[in-house]
Amino acid sequence: MKHIKCECGHVNPEGTVLCEACGKPIEVNQHIDGNDKKKLLNMRYEGSARRSTTYNKTIIDKIWNFFSSVKVAVWLIILALIASGIGTILPLEQYIPADAVSRDPAIFYPETYGLFGQIYFQLGFHKLYSSWWYLILISLIGVSLVICSIDRFVPLYRALKRQKAKRHQSFLNRQRFYSESELVSQEDIDAVKAQLKKQRYRIMEEEGHFVAEKGRFSRWGPYVNHIGLIIILIAALLRTTSFFYIDDYVWVREGELTVVPGTESEFYIENNEFILDTYDTEDERFKDAIAKQGQIIPSNFQTNATIYTAENSDVIGAEENLEELGEYQISMNKPAKFGGYTLYQQGYQLNEFSTMTFKIYEMNDSEAESLGEFTIDLFNLQTEYVLDNGFKVEVVEYYPDYSLTENGVRSKTNESNNPAFVFNLFPPNSEASEISFVGDVIGSAEDLGIDTSVVDLQPMANVIGAFAPSIDATGENEYRVLIDSIEFDRKSGLSIKRDYTLPLFGLGAIIFMIGVIQGMYWQHRRIWLHSKSNGILLAAHTNKNWFGLKKDIEKAIEGTSVRMVEDQKEDD
Amino acid sequence: MESLLNTSSTMLFTAFILYLVATFFFGFTIKDKTNEHRKSGFIGKLAITLTIIGFFAQLIYFITRWMASGHAPVSNMFEFVTFLGMCLVLAFIIIYFIYRINILGLFALPIAMIFIAYASVFPTEIAPLVPSLKSHWLYIHVTTVALGSGILFISFVAGLIYLIHEVDQHERTLRTVSLEVILYIIFLLLGFIIISTIYSSMNYNASFEYELNGKPVVANYTLPAIAAPNDGTLVTEGVMEPWFETPSWMQGADAGRKFNSVIWSFFTGTLLYLLTRLVLRKRVGAAIQPLLKHVKPDLVDEINYRSVAIGFPVFTLGGLIFAAIWAQEAWGRFWGWDPKEVWALITWFFYAAYLHLRLSRGWHGEKSAWLAVIGFGIILFNLIVVNLVLAGLHSYA
Ligand code: HEM
């Protein structure tokens, strides 16, 4: 490495612009910080030798220089900004509404948004924020952050540490704040020094010259805040691994006991009660707003649950050895926390069909006298049901969430939201059978003009009233099967999370805030006083807030014969 | 209860009037050379005093409404936008006492008033909180975001003053046109407020029936329908027939009604703008410029930067950190790429870029001023477009 020895005796690394010790401009390097074109010295990095401005030969140099440029950083930020904006035009994959034409993105986007939606989907914008190129963009910002910080921090730290009180004259008179005074008495110099001390400047002296300095730590603010950002990026990377982050979901019916997924069968949950409170429509305060909304507004969703730990979760059938951990009331904004996991109240379903009872009638029986009945437990569906009097009912088709579309019948989901059956009915001692279709209670109710969408917050039976008749597909049936009664279930949807990256994110955020405040609300101020045989030179520099520095100087020289500095600021 | 609410709305109105009067007094100081000596004359003192009284009146509005509803009034569009206006005034008062510059008031207060007026276009009833909003973090998050935004708005105000002062109006350039567009947009906002106020004082209503996701719904227009909902039928009698239908690619609930409001704002705002131009016989920017003769551009530039320096950390805290903590408490995910969240991130990135350009690349003065204006645009985008168009978890309306 080529070192540069200054006339003051200090040996500077290659690429130094201003001598680390005395500040004298090093002739051959003035172009680096653009000092050759200006009177004032560029003080941003103290004229220190930064790798990025010194070497530009190898490919590594080039990459280093690319990433250490703030211009590149700003471009990366702007690209990320535009990309993020585009991703908000249409809903993301995970926000496709439940009542959409299809939850398959390949169908949803073109169907709902036409050609634009097609293109949007094709370009992968529906999962933009997890797409490889978005992640690369964010990683590049991270790389830029690290390289930029190292490139500047190390030399800046060196330069500030090695600086001497005695500065070269050409350093002083090329500062923005500068003045020369003749015939200044030693008392005046001491008075200035005392004043500066009072203003909490630290004074360093050398051969009758001195520098008063304060707030140097604020120079590290940007590096501290960028370290915070880097920690956040690292946390985000760790979060993609399942050790650090577990995310699962469970539906539990009232009264049901089930394993909590994602916990390796360590924990079980029993839903004792699901509570849904709504606002009183007569409430003095809210009645206008509620009337305007025209619907019931919920005030609380809550699951009262008991959590159990399995004694020996490796053994199959561990459910027998459950030990109660405690009772929890889980509601929105009040999750349950246990064993490193957190359970959040997330969804609910009040009107899941659970059991349905059917009765068999003769087709043209005006008395409507039942020939027998059978009950289907939708969570424990049998293939056939044999009645006492010899009737046999075979379940040919079962649609838990029946819907009739242009493309035929299908089940929208696997939840029993609107069950429908195709039965094969065998009368007693008969080999011949007849087909009947029963179900689609919701569809029939809507055909009668009942709005079943309000059902969300109400018991379904209140809403649908009468039950649907069955359909005789062939018109030749002798019997018909009718729904006699339905029972509904209430179930609660809870999400399970375990996120070990949270403290890391928190730490990153705190460090970022500290760094921003440190850099923004304190400033690094230095005032040099250089004694000459016939007077003194006064110069000052700050990285921010020149106004404040000026006031400090005014106060310091008050009542002395030292001249106030002049602002030599040039227009850029 | 009833009386609390009455007090509350009276105080809001009082605040509005006080801001208006204070604006006039700030206007009177325009010729005041004392501006330059960082000392203000009597009229300036009166103006800032009125502003502070106005701020306290609005504070009483806030507190009484909180008492009446039982929750902090920041939970719907009306309450939030009003609060934003209040934060803008607070930020102005703080910055005023640092720099003692009267001209800032002349621009900041009208913008605060536009916010308050815009807010009152939304339903003002006290609405109950849905379960996901029932958290102390709602208050902490929303108030800090609003405060941060309010401070950042001051940088826009300073930037705007800088631009009006500095942009050379002698010939038509990209700069004069851009500045004029900004002023024109303010006219559009005014147009929207004026026309909505006129029709709502007449209790205008026209209802349409149309289908949304296969279900019949009703849209209530409070402005005469120029654009009907797509495939909608007018059910109210004796009102203006729509001229055309909202195109079908405009999605979502109430797309027609929102589109109609946009059309009306354009009509009224443009008319207002043209009338003003007709009276002034020059660009609005050129007409204001001579009034700003005594402005010191360096000082205004300093205010622009200082408000970003203060506003940026506050916004980071409220809009990202507190938001994430709350989202973690409520949904178990501190970040969900919801449009509102993404736009908060964009805002944050943008002001980070502003700071880098300024501190590292020396973008001062006019460049900084344009950036401050764009930043304001991004925050407004999040407030208006994201809330009303790109519906997500946060959408109030
Ligand atoms: C993309 C990579 C980034 C690079 C290379 C970078 C580089 C820099 C540099 C060199 C400075 C010092 C400016 C100076 O005083 O000369 C700085 C300041 C700053 N950076 Fe970054 N930055 C990056 C990303 C970010 C991001 C994403 C944020 C936050 C959103 C951020 C926030 C800040 C802040 C607030 C300051 C000013 C601190 C102060 O002066 O006290 N930076 N950055």
User: Which range has the worst mean pLDDT, A98-107, A144-153, A159-168, B292-301?
Assistant: A98-107
B390 touches chain A (CB under 8 A): yes
Closest-CA residue, ligand 1 atom 31, reads B352
* Domain assignment present for A184: yes
* Domain assignment present for A202: yes
Stronger pLDDT, A504 or A182, i.e. the higher one = A504
* Mean pLDDT value of segment B221-235: 81
Mutant choice from A38, A88, A300, A514 vs B, greatest count of B C-beta within 10 A: A88
* Domain assignment present for A412: yes
Mutant choice from B302, B329, B363 vs A, greatest count of A C-beta within 10 A: B329
pLDDT digits (tens, 9 = 90+) for A87-96: 777 877 777 7
Long-range contacts formed by A453-457: CB under 8 A, 24+ apart: A453/B215, A454/A295, A454/A296, A455/A350, A455/A351, A456/A350, A457/A276, A457/A278, A457/A296, A457/A298, A457/A350
Asked if residue A320 and residue A360 are part of one domain, the reply reads no
Q: Residue A185 belongs to a domain with what CATH number?
A: 3.30.310
* Domain assignment present for A239: no
Give B232's pLDDT tier (boundaries 50, 70, 90).
confident
Residue ranges lining ligand 1, Cβ < 6 Å:
A 44, 70, 73, 76-77, 141, 144-145, 148, 152, 221-222, 225-226, 229, 516, 519-520; B 348, 352, 355-356, 359-360
pLDDT digits (tens, 9 = 90+) for A306-341: 999 887 655 555 456 788 888 999 988 889 998 889
pLDDT score for A313: 52
pLDDT score for A116: 83
pLDDT score for A68: 85
Give chain A's domain count: 5
Do the Cβ atoms of B134 and A333 come within 8 Å? yes
pLDDT at residue B315 greater than cutoff 80: yes
Give A19's pLDDT tier (boundaries 50, 70, 90).
confident
pLDDT score for B351: 95
Which chain B residues have a beta carbon less than 8 Å from that of A505? Answer: 324, 334
- Tokens at A381, concatenated: 């569906």
Do the Cβ atoms of B316 and A516 come within 8 Å? yes
* Domain assignment present for A517: no
Asked if residue A531 and residue A559 are part of one domain, the reply reads yes
Stronger pLDDT, B93 or B391, i.e. the higher one = B93
Do the Cβ atoms of B316 and A344 come within 8 Å? no
* Domain assignment present for A220: no
- Global pTM reads 0.84
pLDDT at residue A467 greater than cutoff 80: no
Interhelix angle B103-119/B42-69, rounded to 10 degrees, is 20
Work out which ligand 1 atom sits closest to the CA atom of A221: 41
Give B37's pLDDT tier (boundaries 50, 70, 90).
very low
| C-alpha to C-alpha distance for A409 and A132, rounded to whole angstroms | 38
First to last CA, chain A: 35
Q: With helix as H, strand as E and coil as C, how does B49-84 read?
A: HHHHHHHHHHHHHHHHHHHHHCCCCCCCHHHHHHHH
* Mean pLDDT value of segment A439-453: 73
For ligand 1, the distance from its centroid to the CA atom of residue A226, given in whole angstroms, is 7
B366 touches chain A (CB under 8 A): no
* A329 strand-pairing partners: A304
Residue boundaries of the structural domains of chain B: 1-123, 132-169+294-397, 170-282
Give B251's pLDDT tier (boundaries 50, 70, 90).
low
Asked if residue A395 and residue A345 are part of one domain, the reply reads no
| C-alpha to C-alpha distance for A509 and A229, rounded to whole angstroms | 7
Do the Cβ atoms of A289 and B338 come within 8 Å? no
pLDDT at residue B217 greater than cutoff 80: no
pLDDT digits (tens, 9 = 90+) for B115-140: 998 888 777 788 888 787 888 888 89
Asked if residue A199 and residue A134 are part of one domain, the reply reads no
pLDDT score for B393: 41
pLDDT score for A316: 57
Give the distance from residue B327's alpha carbon to the nearest chain A alpha carbon, in angstroms.
9
pLDDT score for A499: 87
- Interface ipTM: 0.86
Asked if residue A438 and residue A372 are part of one domain, the reply reads yes
* Domain assignment present for A231: no
Phi, psi of A528 (to 5 degrees): -100, 140
Closest-CA residue, ligand 1 atom 39, reads A519
pLDDT score for A85: 80
Give B397's pLDDT tier (boundaries 50, 70, 90).
very low
Asked if residue A431 and residue A412 are part of one domain, the reply reads yes
pLDDT digits (tens, 9 = 90+) for A471-496: 666 667 788 888 888 888 888 889 89
Establish, for the pair of chains A and B, how many residue pairs have beta carbons separated by less than 8 Å: 136
Asked if residue A101 and residue A61 are part of one domain, the reply reads yes
Do the Cβ atoms of B390 and A44 come within 8 Å? no
CB B64 within 8 A of CB B122: no
Work out which ligand 1 atom sits closest to the CA atom of B312: 35
Which chain B residues have a beta carbon less than 8 Å from that of A331? Answer: 131
| C-alpha to C-alpha distance for A168 and A23, rounded to whole angstroms | 6
Residue in B with minimal Cα distance to A506: B321
Asked if residue A90 and residue A34 are part of one domain, the reply reads no
* Domain assignment present for A227: no
Give B394's pLDDT tier (boundaries 50, 70, 90).
very low
CB B213 within 8 A of CB B253: no
Q: Which domain holds residue A204?
A: 167-215+523-571
